[in-house]
Structure 1
Amino acid sequence: MALRIAITAEPVPSHVSALDYVIGPALEQGHRVALHAPPMFRLEARRRGVEFHRAGSDWTCDPAVQQEASEIWKEYGNASFNRHVFGRLWPDQAERKARDLIAAWTRTRPDLVIAECSDLGAHLAARVLHLPLLAADNGLGPLLLELWDTDVVPALAPLHDRYGQDVPVLPPMLTPAPLPWFHAAPPPSAHAVRRTVASFRTAEPDRRGRASSSSRPLVYVSLGTLTTAMAGLRSVVGGAYREITAALSDIGCEAIVSAGRLAEDLHSADPRITVVEHAPQPALLHRADLFVTHGGRASLLDAVQGATPLLGMGVLADQPGNTAAFTRRGLGRALELTATRDEIAEAMTAVLGDPRHAAAMNTARTTLSRLPPLDIAQLYDHAQAPVRLG
């Protein structure tokens, strides 16, 4: 039976890509998929061949919002940043998103809603309309669980009261990775499913970053899309990119550095180092020897699928915790974002020179590939009577 599936996303540049493990299987299984998301994702919906319906705003692109969040991160640290963003800003935006979705889903009622785990307005709208609801973990699931009772529920409670709803609870959650990789205490209703990536993101890039005859290792560097888009973080992240490129030159490897909006200001006289604004990351990580990453969940899983050891330099939100967890599993090393070129060069050399990291990545890739495929019809049956998180 073909179902009408409503998928929702919040305005963070990488978040639709993070939902490909839901979008792709839903389309392949013959369901009608509609993406309900802010305007910034209209092109992403077209690329994936799904309907697009505007819901919510591109509020994360507001310079004032970015500046305030950046200043909190720089002055008070990542824990305060997380409480500000996920305990205040996200709940503050939930009402507008809920209104848009209630209107859309009243006109055309979906059979199943699969909302980002951080899309609090979508969770509310589905409950108001008594729609089967699942959450798709975009990487923020563990962080939301950590802040749920102390920060998120108190901020959301007045809005839920206005709509006649009970105390907010997270819906049952899908996640595209083994639960222990990111959850210290996995929620009982979470369900791990196989990860897929949109086909256009796996196209092989040009090979200018590495001559086919080169015996030097290839290092791929990306500190994420959000960190380079936030004006208040650019100076800090730009400094990290400069230390990384200097270290790359010191160790004499080939490198592709994907630096987003910082690319035009990031230059290297070393011909072995190519700086670009964007790169086809999943494809590159199938031939890179080392990945220097900010530690976003999607990037880490790209590394696992490419069996590429990593050097994690977590920036914000879940990223420092993610890189620490992967380091404990032997999948690479971690450094502070403020590490010097000498520290970075030493860590790169250590990871490249230790075959145990590559072996651990190969084992992780096998584990990831053995997760069960996502079955939309089965999920629909289960979602008729969702189990609440304990």
Structure 2
Amino acid sequence: MSLRIAITAEPIPSHVSALDYVTCPALEQGHRVTLHAPVMFRREARRRGVRFSVAGTDWTCDPALQRAASEVWKRYGNATFNRYAFGRLWPRQAGVKARHLLTAWGRKRPDLVIAECSDLGAHLAARVLGLPLVAADNGLGPVLVDLWDAHIAPALLPLYRRYEPQVPGAEDAQRAPTLPPMLTPAPVHWFYGTPPPAVRAVRRTLAGFRTARSGLPDVSLRPSRPLVYVSLGTLTTAMSGLRTAVEDVYREVVAALLAIDCDAIVSAGDLAPHLAHLPGVGPHIKVVAHAPQPALLHRADLFVTHAGRASLLDAVQGATPVLALGVLGDQPGNAAAFARRGLGRALDVTAGRGEIADALTALLDAPCHAAALCVARAELSRLPPLNLTDIRDSLSGRPGVPWAGWVEEVCGADNE
């Protein structure tokens, strides 16, 4: 049975790619998929062969907002930044997204909504219309779970009061915003200390064009030398207020690479022109704006990363150990989690070139990470495929595997 599936995304550059683990199975299973997202993602929808409907705005691209958020991060650290971003900025934008989606879904009701876990406006719109809803973990799930009760739900409550029917005598607790059941593309215990109330771990898939091995950077690689791939993500290089800080991190990493005997490909987004002319950068260290990361990680011997969720899972699937320099959001926690699992090492983003060079040398000389990566890759591959008809049925009270029962089974298996 073909379903009408609505997928939603928020305006963060890499987030449509992070949703491929739901988009690809939906298309493969013959469902009619529409991406409801800001206009910045129209091209990404076309590349994936899904319909596109404008919903929400490109609000994260506002230079003033970027400067304010960056200043919070630089002055007060990541924990305060997360409270500011997800307890204040995201709830403020939820009303616009909810209005757009209430209009679109009021005209043509989807059979199932798969909203980004951070798409608070989509959660509200689906709840108001009584649509089956599941949240797709884009990597921010652990941050949202930690902040939900104290920061996010209270900030959303006025919006929920405005849109949901006012039942005489109803308490706020009956209208309280709740995080929907969640899908996540990795074993739950990898990233969650305390799992959400309802979560399914499902198999990770990537869009075909992202796994193509064509388009690898033209770099003079020496077969006798290890290859190090470096990328600190798309968000940090796109935020004007963070650009200087992230450029400094890249400079320290490049200096560390020059101090050890390796070849390297450095993917630096908008910062590439600034880094390409650093002293010492030559044929064996190539600085590019973008690289086909999943394919490249099947060749690389080491990955220096900002520890975004998708990048870490790319590393596991490529069996590549990581040196993780978590910058913001979920990234520092992700870096620590991967280091604990023996999949690499984590350094503070303020680490200097000497400390980075020592860590690079230690990782390239240590074969012990190969076994841990082999175990992790096997664990990732054993996750069940996503069946969207079953998901819709379980959320709609139709016959099938009950959501709560499935969660208990999976969480129990994860904790053994």
Residue type of the alignment partner of 2:273: E
- For structure 1, the 5+ residue unaligned runs are none
Distance 2:319 2:55 in 1: 37
Q: CA offsets per residue over residues 305-352 of structure 1, 9 Å max, x none?
A: 101000000000100000000000000001111111111110001011
Residue matched to 1:141: 141
Distance 2:2 2:384 in 1: 21
Secondary structure of 2:369 counterpart: helix
- For structure 2, the 5+ residue unaligned runs are 166-174, 409-416
Residue type of the alignment partner of 1:255: A
Residue type of the alignment partner of 2:351: A
Residue type of the alignment partner of 2:201: A
Residue type of the alignment partner of 1:34: T
Residue type of the alignment partner of 1:345: A
Residue type of the alignment partner of 1:247: A
Contact 1:249 1:270 in 2 (8 A): no
Residue type of the alignment partner of 2:287: V
Distance 1:160 1:83 in 2: 20
Secondary structure of 1:52 counterpart: strand
Secondary structure of 1:342 counterpart: helix
Residue matched to 1:216: 225
Runs ≥4 residues deviating over 6 A: 386-390
Residue type of the alignment partner of 1:320: P
Contact 1:210 1:218 in 2 (8 A): no
User: 1:271, CA displacement in angstroms?
Assistant: 2.0
- Which residue of the other structure, out of 392, 397, 407, is the alignment partner of 1:380? 392
Distance 1:68 1:120 in 2: 21
Residue matched to 1:227: 236
Residue matched to 2:154: 154
Residue matched to 2:370: 358
User: 1:239, CA displacement in angstroms?
Assistant: 0.5
Residue type of the alignment partner of 1:104: A
Paired residues for 1:164-183 under 5 Å? 164=164, 166-183=175-192
Is 1:192 the counterpart of 2:201? The answer is yes
Contact 2:297 2:303 in 1 (8 A): yes
Is 1:58 the counterpart of 2:84? The answer is no
Paired residues for 1:1-390 under 5 Å? 1-164=1-164, 166-204=175-213, 205-206=215-216, 208-209=218-219, 211=221, 214-267=223-276, 268=278, 269-385=281-397
Distance 2:403 2:180 in 1: 8
Residue type of the alignment partner of 2:383: L
User: 1:164, CA displacement in angstroms?
Assistant: 1.9
Residue type of the alignment partner of 1:187: P
Residue type of the alignment partner of 1:254: D
User: 1:207, CA displacement in angstroms?
Assistant: 5.7
Contact 1:219 1:292 in 2 (8 A): yes
Distance 2:320 2:244 in 1: 28
Residue type of the alignment partner of 1:244: V
User: 1:387, CA displacement in angstroms?
Assistant: 6.5
The percentage of aligned residue pairs carrying the same residue is 69
Distance 1:181 1:158 in 2: 34
Residue type of the alignment partner of 2:200: H
Residue type of the alignment partner of 2:219: G
Residue type of the alignment partner of 2:146: E
Distance 1:338 1:375 in 2: 43
Distance 1:108 1:154 in 2: 31
Residue type of the alignment partner of 2:237: T
Contact 1:112 1:132 in 2 (8 A): yes
Alignment RMSD: 1.4
Distance 1:210 1:172, change over 3 A: farther
Contact 1:142 1:183 in 2 (8 A): yes
Contact 2:216 2:292 in 1 (8 A): no
User: 1:358, CA displacement in angstroms?
Assistant: 1.8
Secondary structure of 1:7 counterpart: strand
Contact 2:219 2:283 in 1 (8 A): no
Secondary structure of 2:19 counterpart: helix
User: 1:187, CA displacement in angstroms?
Assistant: 2.0
TM-score by length of 1: 0.98
Q: CA offsets per residue over residues 152-177 of structure 1, 9 Å max, x none?
A: 01100000001126110011000000
Distance 2:179 2:113 in 1: 14
Distance 1:296 1:195 in 2: 15
Secondary structure of 1:251 counterpart: coil
TM-score by length of 2: 0.92
Residue type of the alignment partner of 2:59: W
Residue type of the alignment partner of 1:206: L
